[in-house]
Structure 1
Amino acid sequence: MPRPRARLGLLAAAAASGLLGLGVTGAAQAASASAPAANSAAAHTATGPRSAFDPSYDGGATVPGLTGEYLATGANAATDGSVIGPDYTQGTLASEAVGREAVQLTAAGQYVQFTLAASANAVDVDYALPQGTTGTLSVYVNGVRQKQELSLTSAYSYIDTPQIYGSQTHHFYNDVRIMFGFQLHRGDTVRLQADAQDTALPYTINLADFYQVAAPLRQPAHTVSVLSEGADPTGATDSTAAFAAAVSAANAAHEAVWIPAGDFTVGSSLQISAATLEGAGSWYTRIHSNAFIDNTAAVPGPVNLKNFAILGSTVGRHDDSTANAINGSLGTGAVVDGLWIQNTNVGLWLQYGNTNVTVRNTEIFDTDADGLNLNGNATGDLVYNVFVRNTGDDGLALWSYPANDAHDVLAWDTVEQTNLANGIAEYGGTDNTIAHDVIADTNALGSGLTISNEQFASPGFTTLSGTIDASHDTVIRAGAMNPNWGHPMSAVQIDAYDYALTGVQVNLTYLNVFDTPYSVFELVSGDGTGLGISGLTIDHADIQNVGTVVFQGETQGSAYVANVHASGVGVTGTVQDQYPPATPQFQFVLGPGNSGWSLSPTLAYFPTPSPAVP
């Protein structure tokens, strides 16, 4: 969730003062165009910005069928267009891009070309168009122009959220995917080119994800097809009633619901207390709906969902949960597997009652708010192998309101390009785990990883308790200048916002933090009342390239710090800028193995990054 304005009134005074052994099977396996700028702490070499998909990371999603993510400015790409970025300024195309840079095609004949490092038969392109435009973009394979073009639109981009203080117009990118209809191999080239008929200039290309999509699944035995109840696979007529009838018929026969390949319009939400719905694959079975399932009270479940896409058409943010692809309760023991969710308000907003629910092998793109949120009453849930990109709020979140989230696990996930809030966030909760995840390119009002006692609503919020483990996570190019606070947020944030962190053990262990524009660890009481932090351990962290300091203390408290190795640190020392000003400084109990950073000098201000952040 984005940060509110609580500390805005305090700025003048502040300025004056100057899966880890889980045993999960398979888990391990613009606004304005930014001018090219000098590099900051973000590493950029001949191979381009550091990727969120790298086999050297001890984490990240193994996305079914994904054979490679190629940045338009990366090693596997070539262009005669204009490179924009790197940029970390809120409200720019480059700042919201994965890698903080992209390529613009500004004239007919310009292109971006990708050379495949692995076989593929499909591609998903992350792009942006000028506001209010639609258009096509030509595709060439090994120099041969394809009949199939990319159909692009800005209809789901350029979101304004005036209710969120400090936000600007954002959410510029969108995704479009096609299947080639034939096999591509290592060394083949795919060129995206603005030909004469492609007039929606400029085209901004961020990246291309290439896939090896398997053949469509066949209808299993003992299933009830939605076609048998009158569903329209062309999408021309609404199939809501047919889907509801198929669920009733399947449940009566103790069978599953089959959704074959095709386009199905579901214009009204389904309420399902228990069922299994499965499709032919997320590239073949396409459900066009802004709110496919909306269970507004706890259901017994399980509500199992497998192998289909939910493609929405939301324009703008809906905080009343009326446009979430999957909303409410899935009951006990539900499995969500192999979904593709795009252009809805939220992908999965799970509330009221979700016990031992598993969400896996799922992709969530271009949501106006969160990707996935466990919104209270979530116990023993597991979210793994989930790939989230371009969300207008938190990528993945645990929010213990109006009841506790306990014993939940977010593991082996990849989150990219959250353009208003945090990559992964935990707001309250008991004995939860965030492990082996990769987070890249958070923007504006959030950090990469946040563990917080910010409640957002009351009564009913449950504060952090028990043991919160964040281990083997990788955070890349995260942290941003907070426009409400007037100072930077760090890559990793521990926040005693509404309540002190007490009676909880927070373990940050075996972290990798790369290419941070500002600082790495922020220890803060975000509402500016100086609430304390205790029970924090930071042990084993590999930090490479940070614009300012490793530690940014803004409230009272203490942490045990050991085996934190840093290189490429921009500013020597540690920030101690507590608010209110009389708040005691944060204390560090140093264990063995720390190197490359220092607690001294103590800086009573937020230093200018070195090198400067573009």
Structure 2
Amino acid sequence: MHRTVRGMPAALVVVLAAGLLTATAPTAHAAVGATLPFTSVEAESATTTGSKIGPDHTQGTLASEASGRQAVRITSGQRVEFTVPGAANAVNLAYSVPDGQSGSLDVYVNGTRISRTLAVTSKYSYVDTPWIPGARTHHFYDNARLVLGQNVQAGDKVAFQSTGTQVTVDVADFEQVVAAAAQPAGSVSVVSKGADPSGNGDSTQAFRDAIASAQGGIVWIPPGDYRLTSSLSGVQNVTLQGAGSWHSVVHTSRFIDQSGSSGSVHIKNFAVIGEVTERVDSDPDNFVNGSLGPNSSVSGMWLQHLKVGLWLLGNNDNLVVENNRLLDMTADGLNLNGNARGVRVRNNFLRNQGDDALAMWSLYAPDTDSSFEDNTISQPNLANGIAIYGGTDIAVRNNLISDTNALGSGIAISNQKFLDPFHPLAGTITVDGNTLVRTGAMNPNWNHPMGALRVDSYDSAINANIRITDTTITDSPYSAFEFVSGGGQGYPVRGVTVDGATVRNTGTVVVQAEAQGAATFRNVTATGVGAAGIYNCPYPAGSGTFDLTDGGGNSGWSSTWSDCSTWPQPGQGNPDPDPTRNLAMGRPATATGSQDAYTPGKAVDGDANSYWESTNDAFPQSWTVDLGSTQAVRRLVLKLPPSAAWGARTQTVTVLGGTNGSTYTTVLGPAGHRFDPATGNTATVSLPSGTSLRYLRLSVSANTGWPAGQFSEVEVYPTS
């Protein structure tokens, strides 16, 4: 479900349910998140002949959507080589290719190329949602899986090499896939009803006939690929079971679409892979749309390339959704859309969702006594990791959430209604034992950020008992806890207790209070706070105060940001938690002139192979970037494309800076900077101590290699 802006109407979006498998959570977070059947290795920790990108938190960049905010870019002939962490025979790779392109990666095991290649494509990426305020093109990454055809062991090397297409490699999941399961006794095989396991024929009617024949029993989906051309309905009192999610694969964008069911539907151990390439909120392009009925379950599923995993509209009492893998949805992973009673969503893995990964939305009737527990969520690229919109007696426990992007927090507890009749938060909302890593994001509609964990009285006052306990928040780019009335009406946030939290390296503040109301804090410790402990500036101004009660045991965040007219920037007052952050990445850039397609933005797009070139034969020419706020700047890195085709040259550059976009002063006078392909075509420029600017301008008055100013990347850093 997508979040909207203060004072603007909410945009309704479609969502579905999440799924997962089983593996081991990263050692650092062993107590939280899902137990998974794979182990992930980040590309930036692998060996590569390509170039690393990131870290970056700027909306709309490849690095900002990547796991860990870093990835590796390879071009033709370049490779990324992973050290395998344990026994495996298969791999799933998260990657991105430029929009409109497709290709393949050659695969090497211990230096020997294997016969199988990994197809890569932009088909399911680059999603636009212009009806959502503040959204930009997003959803850059995709996942592709491959059975290696051999066993590898811990310490072995698996490499991926580009065959021509530029590929940004993010993370590899190594897995030991078990053999296909045998057909259960007494089950009805879809093949016996005419299903085609080659994927060529339409198997829709065969699935329907098998379901009708197996009432009270099991429909068996043998190993193979099956194509369905329309959705299934009337599914009740039956088990749909496959031989394993790597073996039994159903290709359809709409698996079950039904408004009601008597229940006892159990779906397990196969994959449903769709063909959804854009987000159309009115289309039911979901794994399950509507209802499975009471006492149902979804487990062991691989769900990919759909709009939503499960969009559940009620009559799903005591549903269990567990041990599933949910990848590359264009909207939500799972949404309990009212009337959810006793639902348990647990031990699922969700990566690259196009909206909230997991959501409860109390439309028409409250979600009650339901929970999201022990899930691992990575890289939701538009909204929140977990969002609770209203509901009574809800629990969010022991989840591991990382790398949220624009318009989202790691966890949002909210009274944003979207539609009526809505049922606000009530009873006890338990948020316990969760770990949030690099969560929270700059909201382009608010012009300041949302915290890692947000409590939001968006459309009505919060009066529930909200207990936030045993929370770990690490490397939030902005704040840790936020209390806000995001709709701009100034509704209060009451009844909040934060008891037991560890906050490490938060970019700005520990508590971002922007609503009237109150909260009690006990045993909250913070280290590496970027600007101040507390920002207490209710919105709108004069709407009331937010009272923070010190319950004891708090440390490291006693200071208060003093100026409510400005929003603190990361690192103001204390060291930046991300001192290697390129402040110019993805920021608006302009120039006095440019040549053909070589526009100013090419110098801040993170791609050293694209470049800005000024109008020819018209020195001096200037290029300007807006960093978004006044920043302390100590170092510039100027680049030209690294290709040897770019001969060595010297450009004469004057560095200017300003704070208002109209008045500039000289930071460094004209000086020649040498660009040589033998040393990467890179020039580093150190700025005087104390340099502070929002607008950076580079004026080029000469170039020995071409009659124009040229930069492929201008990188701006706060450290020397």
TM-score, normalisation: structure 1: 0.90
Partner secondary structure for residue 347 of structure 2: strand
Report the equivalent of 1:41.
none
8 Å contact kept, 1:521–1:552: yes
Is residue 91 of structure 1 aligned with residue 60 of structure 2? yes
Please report how far the alpha carbon of residue 273 of structure 1 lies from its aligned counterpart in structure 2 after TM superposition. Answer: 3.0
8 Å contact kept, 2:531–2:561: no
> What's the CA shift string for 1:181-223, capped at 9, x where partnerless?
22110110100112xxx222x1000000011111100100010
Partners of 2:191 and 2:22 lie apart in 1 by 34
Report the equivalent of 2:198.
234
> What's the CA shift string for 1:462-481, capped at 9, x where partnerless?
11011010111000001111
Partner secondary structure for residue 254 of structure 2: coil
Report the equivalent of 1:139.
107
Report the equivalent of 1:351.
313
Report the equivalent of 2:608.
none
Q: 1:226 to 1:28 in 2, by over 3 A?
A: closer
Is residue 219 of structure 1 aligned with residue 183 of structure 2? yes
Report the equivalent of 2:659.
none
Report the equivalent of 1:112.
80
Please report how far the alpha carbon of residue 330 of structure 1 lies from its aligned counterpart in structure 2 after TM superposition. Answer: 0.9
> What's the CA shift string for 1:547-574, capped at 9, x where partnerless?
1110111110000101001111011241
Report the equivalent of 1:532.
492
> What's the CA shift string for 1:291-331, capped at 9, x where partnerless?
10011x22111111000000001011121242011111111
8 Å contact kept, 2:296–2:319: yes
Please report how far the alpha carbon of residue 27 of structure 1 lies from its aligned counterpart in structure 2 after TM superposition. Answer: 9.8
Partner secondary structure for residue 202 of structure 2: coil
Matches within 5 A, 1:456-475: 456-458=418-420, 460-475=421-436
Matches within 5 A, 1:242-281: 242-251=206-215, 254-271=216-233, 272-281=235-244
8 Å contact kept, 1:58–1:436: yes
Q: Give the letter for the 2:266 counterpart.
A: N
Please report how far the alpha carbon of residue 109 of structure 1 lies from its aligned counterpart in structure 2 after TM superposition. Answer: 2.2
Q: Give the letter for the 2:509 counterpart.
A: V
Q: 1:466 to 1:321 in 2, by over 3 A?
A: farther
Partners of 1:8 and 1:302 lie apart in 2 by 42
Partners of 2:23 and 2:73 lie apart in 1 by 36
Is residue 301 of structure 1 aligned with residue 263 of structure 2? yes
Q: 1:169 aligns with which of 124, 137, 160?
A: 137
Is residue 152 of structure 1 aligned with residue 112 of structure 2? no
8 Å contact kept, 1:436–1:472: yes
Please report how far the alpha carbon of residue 129 of structure 1 lies from its aligned counterpart in structure 2 after TM superposition. Answer: 0.5
Partners of 1:90 and 1:572 lie apart in 2 by 24
Is residue 436 of structure 1 aligned with residue 402 of structure 2? no
Partner secondary structure for residue 401 of structure 2: strand
Report the equivalent of 1:53.
26
Please report how far the alpha carbon of residue 606 of structure 1 lies from its aligned counterpart in structure 2 after TM superposition. Answer: 1.6
5+ residue gaps, structure 1, are 10-25, 30-51
Is residue 126 of structure 1 aligned with residue 91 of structure 2? no
Report the equivalent of 2:592.
none
Partner secondary structure for residue 169 of structure 1: coil
Q: How many pairs are equivalent? A: 562
Report the equivalent of 1:78.
47
Report the equivalent of 2:517.
557
Q: 1:87 to 1:208 in 2, by over 3 A?
A: same
> What's the CA shift string for 1:437-471, capped at 9, x where partnerless?
0000000011011000001111x211101101011
Q: 1:341 aligns with which of 284, 303, 326?
A: 303
8 Å contact kept, 2:8–2:487: no
Q: Give the letter for the 1:211 counterpart.
A: E
Partners of 1:249 and 1:464 lie apart in 2 by 44
Partners of 1:506 and 1:525 lie apart in 2 by 16
> What's the CA shift string for 1:12-71, capped at 9, x where partnerless?
xxxxxxxxxxxxxx9998xxxxxxxxxxxxxxxxxxxxxx733544211112x21x1001
Matches within 5 A, 1:289-328: 289-295=252-258, 297-328=259-290
Partners of 2:186 and 2:289 lie apart in 1 by 27
Partners of 1:601 and 1:418 lie apart in 2 by 30
Q: Give the letter for the 2:520 counterpart.
A: Y
Q: 1:368 to 1:595 in 2, by over 3 A?
A: same
Q: Give the letter for the 2:5 counterpart.
A: R
Partners of 2:183 and 2:53 lie apart in 1 by 47
Report the equivalent of 2:3.
3
Q: Give the letter for the 1:84 counterpart.
A: I
8 Å contact kept, 2:22–2:323: no
Partners of 1:593 and 1:603 lie apart in 2 by 27
Partner secondary structure for residue 570 of structure 2: coil
8 Å contact kept, 2:29–2:400: no
Partners of 2:27 and 2:461 lie apart in 1 by 37
8 Å contact kept, 1:342–1:367: yes
Q: Give the letter for the 1:185 counterpart.
A: Q
Q: 1:111 to 1:28 in 2, by over 3 A?
A: closer
> What's the CA shift string for 1:72-122, capped at 9, x where partnerless?
012xx111211111111111111110111100002x321111101211111
> What's the CA shift string for 1:158-192, capped at 9, x where partnerless?
01001101100010100000111221101101001
Is residue 284 of structure 1 aligned with residue 265 of structure 2? no
- Between the two structures, name the one with larger relative contact order (CA 8 Å, sep ≥ 6): 1
Q: 2:458 aligns with which of 482, 488, 497?
A: 497
Partners of 1:599 and 1:399 lie apart in 2 by 36
5+ residue gaps, structure 2, are 10-20, 584-720
Partners of 2:563 and 2:495 lie apart in 1 by 24
Please report how far the alpha carbon of residue 540 of structure 1 lies from its aligned counterpart in structure 2 after TM superposition. Answer: 0.3
Report the equivalent of 1:69.
40
Please report how far the alpha carbon of residue 601 of structure 1 lies from its aligned counterpart in structure 2 after TM superposition. Answer: 4.6
8 Å contact kept, 1:573–1:602: no
Report the equivalent of 2:160.
192
Report the equivalent of 1:20.
none
Partner secondary structure for residue 210 of structure 1: strand
Please report how far the alpha carbon of residue 279 of structure 1 lies from its aligned counterpart in structure 2 after TM superposition. Answer: 0.2
Report the equivalent of 1:46.
none
Moved more, 300-309 or 592-601: 592-601
Report the equivalent of 2:69.
100
Partners of 2:275 and 2:164 lie apart in 1 by 23
Please report how far the alpha carbon of residue 339 of structure 1 lies from its aligned counterpart in structure 2 after TM superposition. Answer: 0.1
Q: Give the letter for the 2:322 counterpart.
A: R
Please report how far the alpha carbon of residue 404 of structure 1 lies from its aligned counterpart in structure 2 after TM superposition. Answer: 1.1
Report the equivalent of 2:353.
391
TM-score, normalisation: structure 2: 0.77
Q: Give the letter for the 2:121 counterpart.
A: T
Partners of 1:2 and 1:190 lie apart in 2 by 38
Partners of 2:114 and 2:427 lie apart in 1 by 57
Moved more, 531-540 or 595-604: 595-604
8 Å contact kept, 1:8–1:484: no
Partners of 1:331 and 1:578 lie apart in 2 by 44
Matches within 5 A, 1:392-411: 392-411=354-373
Partners of 1:601 and 1:526 lie apart in 2 by 20
Please report how far the alpha carbon of residue 274 of structure 1 lies from its aligned counterpart in structure 2 after TM superposition. Answer: 3.0
> What's the CA shift string for 1:247-270, capped at 9, x where partnerless?
00111xx32100000000011000
Partner secondary structure for residue 311 of structure 2: strand
Partners of 1:371 and 1:255 lie apart in 2 by 29
Please report how far the alpha carbon of residue 603 of structure 1 lies from its aligned counterpart in structure 2 after TM superposition. Answer: 4.1
Partner secondary structure for residue 247 of structure 1: helix
Partner secondary structure for residue 214 of structure 2: helix
Partner secondary structure for residue 192 of structure 2: helix
Q: Give the letter for the 1:513 counterpart.
A: I
Report the equivalent of 1:13.
none
